[in-house]
C-alpha cells in the first residue's frame, strides 16, 4: 500500500471508511504536520493536539477533496491554520488569566545557525506563496520528493516542476530578505530540507488514527481547534469564491477570524488613526497603569501617569514591591526641563535628582510600563505604539474583546522582534491594554577578546543552550485603569515631594561616569 497514491487512499477512506487507508495517510504525513505544529508551540502536548486536530479535519473533509489535491500541501496549509488558531487562543488565555506565555517554537535540538535565523519566519513566508508554489516547496524540501515526483503530484513535467520550485525559492528569498534574513536560495533550500520536518513522537500516529478515523472521544481543546480551523477554511473558500472586490463578507455562524487580508489591515489602520487623533485632541490624560511581566521570574508593578499640554507630566513608580510614597521614583516636567528623582534604595543613584535634555530619553527610564501612551500623547510621530503598529506589515484586527467592562477593538502586529496586541476602546478610542510577547536571542551575547576565561566559558555555555533555551519568549501585560481626560490641572500637580537642596545632575554625564558598573 506504500506505493498507492494519496488520492486513491483518500478515496478508499471516503467511500469505504477504510481505517487501513487512513492509517497509511497518517503514517506518510504525520511528521510534516507535527513539525508545523511544533514550530508554533513550545509545548509537545499542544503540538500533538494540533496534529490530531488536522487529521480529524482531513477525515471530515476527505470526501470533498478532489483527486487533483496535493495532499501534503493541503495538510501543510491546514496545519498552519490550526496552529495559528491555537496561538490566538493562547494569547487570549494569557491576557485573561494574566499568565506567562511559554517558551518559543524553535527546535531546541537544532544547532544550525541558519535554521535558527530562518525558522521563526518560515511558515509566515510559506503562507505568502501561491498554493502551487507552496505545494512545490512542501513536496520538494519538506517531504524530500524528487523533481519527477513533484511534477507527477502537480500534474506537470519534471522540467516544469524544477522551474516551479526555483521560482518558489526565489519568492521565499525575497520574503526573508524583507524580514532581515539575507540568505541565498541554496542555503534556504538546504536549511528547510534538513530541519523543517522532524520525526513525530512515538505512538502519536496510532492516537491520531484512533481519534480521526475511529471517532473515539477527543478532548475539548482538540474539538475547539477542529471547529475553529474548519470555520477559517470555509471563510477562506468563500472569500476566494467571491473575489477580492468584495469589502466585507458576513457568514452566519462563523466566528470572527483574524486574517492579515486587506480589509482587516485597512480597518485596523482606520482605528489606529482615529485613536491617535483622539490623543492629539486631549488637553490632559491620567491613569493608573498595572503591569505584569514574565522574564526569568514574575513581576508586577503599578504606575501613576499624569499628562497635560503643552508639555507638563508626572509619572511615578515604586522602586520595589510594597513600598510607600517615599520609595517612589518620580519623573516630571512643568515645561522647564525633564527631571527624575531616585529615592533611597539604590547604590550610586541614592537620593539623586537627574535632568534630561530630551523628553523621550527621560521617558525611557520609566520602569514597569512601555510608555507607549505618554509618547503617544506627546509624540504622535515617534515612540508610540499607534505609530509603530501602523507601519507593521503583519497588522491585523482580532476578535473584539472587553477590558474591565469596556468594549474594545483588538489589534495585533509585529514591532521589530515583538508581537504586540492592543485593546482600544470603541467609544473613547484610548488604549486600555497592551500585550507584548518578545524574544531575546542569545546572539545578543558576544564573546569579547577582553573576557577572562571564566566569562568566555559561561558565555559559551549560554550560547550552546546549556543554561537557557536557544530563544526565550518574554511577556508583559499592561492594563490602563482609572482613565480620566481633559481635567484641569495646576503646576503644583506635577511637582513631586522631594528633599530640599538637591541639585540636578545631567543624566548623560552621570551614566558616562558609571559605565561599566552594574
pLDDT tens digits, 209-255: 766 665 555 666 677 777 767 666 655 554 444 343 333 222 333 33
Is 465 a residue whose pLDDT tops 50? no
**Residue from 319, 360, 314 nearest 340 by CA:** 314
Q: Quickly state the pLDDT bin for 497 (edges 50, 70, 90).
A: confident
Which grid coordinates belong to 103?
517558551
Q: Do residues 313 and 494 lie in contact, with contact meaning Cβ atoms separated by under 8 Å?
A: yes
Distance CA(73)–CA(7), nearest Å, equals 13
pLDDT band at 381 (very low <50, low <70, confident <90, very high): low
377 to each of 110, 279, 285, 426, 481, how far by Cα in Å?
Answer: 44, 5, 8, 18, 16
How do 505-506 and 352-356 pair as beta strands? parallel
Q: What is the pLDDT of residue 428?
A: 93
Please say if the pLDDT value at position 147 is more than 60: yes
Alpha-carbon distance 339 to 357, whole Å?
Answer: 9
SS3 string, 259-323, reads CCCHHHHHHHHHHHHHHHHHHHHCCEEEEEEEEEEECCCEEEEEEEEEEECCCEEEEEEECCCCC
Residue 188 has pLDDT above 90, yes or no: no
DSSP one-letter string for 102-125: ---SS-TT---HHHHHHHHHHHHH
> Using CA atoms, how far apart are residues 401 and 142, in angstroms rounded to an integer?
38
Report the alpha-carbon distance of residue 348 to residue 507 in Å, rounded. 13
By mean pLDDT, which of 310-314, 351-355, 492-496 is the weakest? 351-355
Give yes or no for a cis peptide into 353 (omega within 30° of 0). Answer: no
pTM over 0.85: no
Q: Which residue has the cell 506565555?
A: 101
Nearest to 459 by CA among 473, 474, 443, 472: 443
Distance CA 56, CA 16 (A): 17
Amino acid at each position: 500500500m506504500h506505493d498507492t497514491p494519496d488520492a486513491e487512499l483518500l478515496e478508499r477512506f471516503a467511500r469505504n471508511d477504510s481505517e487501513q487507508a487512513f492509517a497509511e495517510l497518517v503514517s506518510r504525513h504525520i511528521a510534516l504536520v507535527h513539525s508545523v505544529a511544533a514550530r508554533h508551540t513550545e509545548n509537545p502536548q499542544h503540538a500533538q493536539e494540533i496534529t490530531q486536530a488536522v487529521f480529524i479535519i482531513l477525515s471530515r473533509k476527505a470526501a470533498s477533496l478532489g483527486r487533483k489535491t496535493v495532499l501534503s500541501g493541503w495538510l501543510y496549509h491546514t496545519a498552519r491554520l490550526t496552529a495559528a488558531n491555537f496561538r490566538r487562543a493562547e494569547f487570549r488565555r494569557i491576557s485573561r488569566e494574566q499568565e506567562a506565555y511559554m517558551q518559543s517554537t524553535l527546535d531546541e535540538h537544532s544547532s544550525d545557525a541558519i535554521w535558527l535565523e530562518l525558522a521563526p519566519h518560515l511558515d509566515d513566508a510559506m503562507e505568502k506563496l501561491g498554493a502551487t508554489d507552496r505545494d512545490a516547496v512542501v513536496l520538494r524540501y519538506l517531504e524530500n520528493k524528487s523533481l519527477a515526483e513533484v511534477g507527477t503530484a502537480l500534474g506537470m513535467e519534471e522540467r516544469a516542476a524544477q522551474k516551479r520550485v526555483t521560482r518558489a525559492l526565489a519568492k521565499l528569498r525575497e520574503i526573508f530578505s524583507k524580514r532581515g534574513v539575507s540568505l541565498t536560495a541554496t542555503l534556504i533550500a538546504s536549511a528547510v530540507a534538513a530541519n523543517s520536518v522532524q520525526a513525530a513522537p512515538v505512538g502519536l500516529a496510532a492516537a491520531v488514527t484512533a481519534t480521526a478515523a475511529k471517532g473515539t472521544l477527543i478532548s475539548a481543546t482538540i474539538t475547539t481547534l477542529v471547529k475553529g480551523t474548519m470555520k477559517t477554511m470555509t471563510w477562506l473558500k468563500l472569500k476566494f469564491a467571491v473575489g477580492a472586490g468584495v469589502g466585507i463578507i458576513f457568514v452566519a455562524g462563523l466566528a470572527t477570524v483574524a486574517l492579515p487580508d486587506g480589509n482587516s489591515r485597512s480597518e485596523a489602520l482606520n482605528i489606529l488613526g482615529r485613536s491617535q487623533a483622539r490623543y492629539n485632541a486631549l488637553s490632559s490624560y491620567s491613569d493608573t497603569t498595572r503591569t505584569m511581566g514574565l522574564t526569568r521570574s514574575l513581576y508586577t508593578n503599578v504606575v501613576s501617569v499624569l499628562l497635560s499640554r503643552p508639555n507638563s507630566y508626572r509619572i511615578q513608580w515604586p522602586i520595589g514591591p510594597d513600598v510607600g510614597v517615599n520609595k517612589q521614583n518620580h519623573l516630571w516636567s512643568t515645561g522647564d526641563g525633564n527631571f527624575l528623582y531616585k529615592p533611597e534604595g539604590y547604590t550610586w543613584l541614592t537620593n539623586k535628582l537627574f535632568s534630561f535634555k530630551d523628553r523621550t530619553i527621560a521617558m525611557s527610564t520609566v520602569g514597569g510600563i512601555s510608555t507607549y501612551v505618554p509618547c503617544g500623547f506627546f509624540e504622535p510621530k515617534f515612540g508610540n505604539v499607534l505609530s509603530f503598529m501602523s507601519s507593521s506589515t503583519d497588522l491585523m484586527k482580532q476578535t473584539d474583546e472587553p477590558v474591565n467592562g469596556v468594549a474594545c477593538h483588538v489589534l495585533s502586529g509585529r514591532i521589530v522582534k515583538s508581537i504586540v496586541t492592543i485593546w482600544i476602546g470603541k467609544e473613547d478610542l484610548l488604549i486600555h491594554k497592551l500585550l507584548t510577547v518578545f524574544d531575546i536571542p542569545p546572539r545578543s551575547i558576544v564573546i569579547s577578546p577582553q573576557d577572562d576565561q571564566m566569562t568566555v566559558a559561561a558565555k559559551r555555555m549560554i550560547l550552546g543552550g546549556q543554561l537557557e533555551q536557544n530563544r526565550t519568549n518574554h511577556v508583559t501585560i499592561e492594563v490602563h485603569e482609572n482613565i480620566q481626560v481633559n481635567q484641569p490641572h495646576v503646576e503644583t500637580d506635577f511637582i513631586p515631594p522631594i528633599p530640599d537642596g538637591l541639585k540636578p545632575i545631567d543624566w548623560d554625564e552621570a551614566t558616562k561616569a558609571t559605565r561599566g558598573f552594574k
